[in-house]
Amino acid sequence: MNLQDRITISGLTDTGLVRKKNEDAIGFDSALGLVVLADGMGGHRGGEMASGLTVDRIMDTVQKNFLAIEPGQTDPDNGFSLESICIQEAVESANRLVFQTAEDNPEYHGMGTTVVVLQFYNNTLTLAHIGDSRCYRFREDKLEQITKDHSLNQELIDRGFYTPEEAKKLVNRNLVTRALGIDPLATADIQEDIVIKDDIYLLCSDGLTDLVEDEYIYLTIKRFSDNPEEAAKRLIAKANKNGGKDNISVILCRIDQDFFNKSERRNAVRKVICTSCIAQFPPGITIHGKTKDLSLDGALIESTSISSNDQDNPSIGDIGLLTLKFNTGAVENEIRVPCQARHLGSDGIGLLIHFIKLKIEEQDLLRQVIASNNAEFD
């Protein structure tokens, strides 16, 4: 599916005010839904070479292999989609290329790069990253960093030595603990997530985040949500205004329309298998069953068994808890969502429930099931 009319992508990179050359590199393919950003380091023109090789190799590899993937299939060993495996293999290929180039050319010895890769498909994303370049998500008026830095700073925060605010003042805060091209093998953190219309994703190098606070990033994306290109310009201008001590790269991706291919639904539905549905209401009422017409608003429960201390069914208006268990590939997930009884079937085996006050993570998990055509139930 061509995503060019469904996702707006704008990217800019800037040398900044201090560095003589730009060692960042960016690339994107709007039709394929592929976005790559890298921040190079090391030696005479080594960083520039590492980031450029990385972006070019990942773009080329994914463009050659991605469209041949059969949608909805997963790797039996790790449960990741084949789309994610494609991204992982592209990053590994880039790592081998950068490492071997450094081995063969002494002037590039020790070069490496961070990398962030974002691939959109079937209302889903795969995100891969190495180093301290970041990906943020702006959703429902909230900005969230969805990558975790591979850096000394983050290690010290995780171990409780410093708070995030204290760590910003450290002299060696930009030391990365993981980079692409330094060793023969590199491990990227891979994650898959659901994409929602009006989401905005920001990929950036530390030339932005070292000089621009998250609050300003949030306000800029919010103000220019209808114009990602202008948002990118404003963010780079702010980093330069605050000193521009490093190269600055920014890519913004705004989700304009759904991009789930209906012809692929049969394959995709196999990705989520619901194995259990349990609704619990006071006083001690437990309903085991299966759901129909699952949505973010609620569901219809068809009961297979009911256990109760005092009565067979909850009363209309009772507040309860619905637990859904489902498998995505080799991974078992569980979601527990608050609900309210709205209507009972005349024969006592049907229950219409309404979900109430869902948290963002609860909404995300429900969307994962819903996007798979209400899933399959054993």
Domain ranges of the chain: 7-260, 263-377
| CATH superfamily, domain at 7-260 | PPM-type phosphatase domain (3.60.40.10)
The answer on pLDDT for 159 being more than 90 is no
* 8 A C-beta contact, residue 276 and residue 224: no
Contact 110, 159 (CB under 8 A): no
Q: Which residue has the tokens 């268990």?
A: 325
> Under CATH, what is the fold of the domain 263-377?
Thrombin, subunit H (2.40.10)
What pLDDT digit, counting tens, does each position of 39-64 carry? 999 866 799 999 999 999 999 999 99
pLDDT digits (tens, 9 = 90+) for 212-240: 999 999 999 999 999 999 999 999 999 99
Helices then strands, counting H and E runs in the chain, come out as 9, 17
Fold match between domain 7-260 and domain 263-377: no
Whole-angstrom Cα distance, residue 74 to residue 67? 15
Q: Is the pTM of this model over 0.85?
A: no
Which amino acid belongs to residue 218? Y
Using alpha carbons only, give the angle 135, 137, 140 rounded to the nearest 5 degrees. 175
pLDDT digits (tens, 9 = 90+) for 264-319: 443 433 445 667 788 887 767 787 777 766 777 777 777 777 676 555 667 777 78
Task: Specify the amino acid at residue 185.
Answer: L
